[in-house]
Structure 1
Amino acid sequence: MNDLISYLLNYAFDHGISYSLVYEDPDYPSAAFPEKRFIVINMNCKNPKELPFIIGHEIGHIMNGDDGLQFYCDTVSTSVEHHADLKSLKVIFDYAALQYDSFNEPIQFMQQYGIPYRMLNDTAKLFRDNDDLFF
């Protein structure tokens, strides 16, 4: 997981996104400040396995050009939040492909990379669209 976190933070840096890593109460959400191209990541999140996905999600808000302060929430799914989730899924998927990780099915991939269950349909679609990478 540390390699993936480093990859994501380098990805952010390479795309002009700065970040601050904080260690707050687990209920303190990570956030994106799109206008400043800046993200704050709570490294002490409730579900540590989901941390890479959270980082990718906050990067997604910046890359998608979202407006206003955006907080990570694992239960609310608006269109803006879903698109940030999709960006995170795609960046992590691309990382897995670079690592030559092979998975037989989406759930195995999701478990390995801490992708939340709400992303099952999107992950399955991503696998269908890219079946030549993993099979």
Structure 2
Amino acid sequence: MEDLIKYLLKYAFDHGISCALIRREQAYQSVALPDKKLIVINQNSKNKFELPFIIGHEIGHIMNGNVNGAFYCGKPVNSEERLADLYSLNLIYGYASNQFDTFEEPIQFIQQYGIPDRMLDDAYRLFKKNDDLVF
């Protein structure tokens, strides 16, 4: 998990996104501040295993061109949140693929990488799309 977090922070840096890693009470949500190209990540989040997904999600807000600050709330409440979730899923999938991690089932992938269960259907679609690319 540590290597994935380093990868995500480097990815952000490589794309001009600054990262502030903080420790606050668990209720304090991580946030993307697109106008500042900054993500603020609470390392003391309630579900620490989802921390890489949260980082990817906040990166997604900025990479997707969102203009308003967006707090991570753990469930997509609008299309910007949904797209940030999908960005994170794809970003982590790319990392896993580059590590040559192979999974028989998407459920193994999301469990291994701390991706929320709500993303399972999307993970199935991602796996299917990539299976179709194999010749």
TM range, smaller chain: over 0.9
Q: SS where residue 39 of structure 2 aligns? A: strand
**Shift in Å, 1:33:** 0.4
Aligned residues: 134
Aligned-partner residue type, residue 98 of structure 1: N
Structure 1: any 5+ residue segments left out of the alignment?
none
CA deviation after TM superposition for structure 1 residue 75, in Å: 2.9
Deviation at 1:4, TM superposition (A): 0.2
Post-superposition shift, 1:106? 0.4
Distance 1:14 1:115 in 2: 23
* Pairs within 5 Å for 1:39-50: 39-50=39-50
1:54 aligned partner: 54
Match of 2:12 in 1: 12
1:77 is displaced (CA, Å) by: 2.7
Is 1:66 the counterpart of 2:66? The answer is yes
Distance 1:133 1:49, change over 3 A: farther
- Asked whether the 8 Å contact 1:97–1:133 carries over to 2, the reply is no
Q: Is the 8 A contact 1:8 1:56 kept in 2?
A: yes
Provide the residue aligned with 2:86 in structure 1. Answer: 86
Other structure's SS at 2:28 match: coil
- After superposition, what is the alpha-carbon deviation per residue over 1:40-82, rounded to whole angstroms, capped at 9, x for unaligned? 0000000011000000000000000001111000134311100
Tell me, in whole angstroms, the C-alpha distance in 1 between the residues paired with 2:81 and 2:110.
18
Q: Which residue of 1 aligns with 2:100?
A: 100
Percentage of matched positions with identical amino acids: 60
Quote the Cα distance in structure 1 between the aligned partners of 2:48 and 2:133: 27
What TM-score, normalized by structure 1, do the two folds share?
0.96
**TM-score, normalised relative to structure 2:** 0.96
Q: 2:129 is matched with which residue?
A: 129
Once superposed, what is the RMSD of the aligned Cα atoms? 1.4
Question: For 1:19, what is the secondary structure of its paired residue?
Answer: strand
Distance 2:36 2:123 in 1: 30
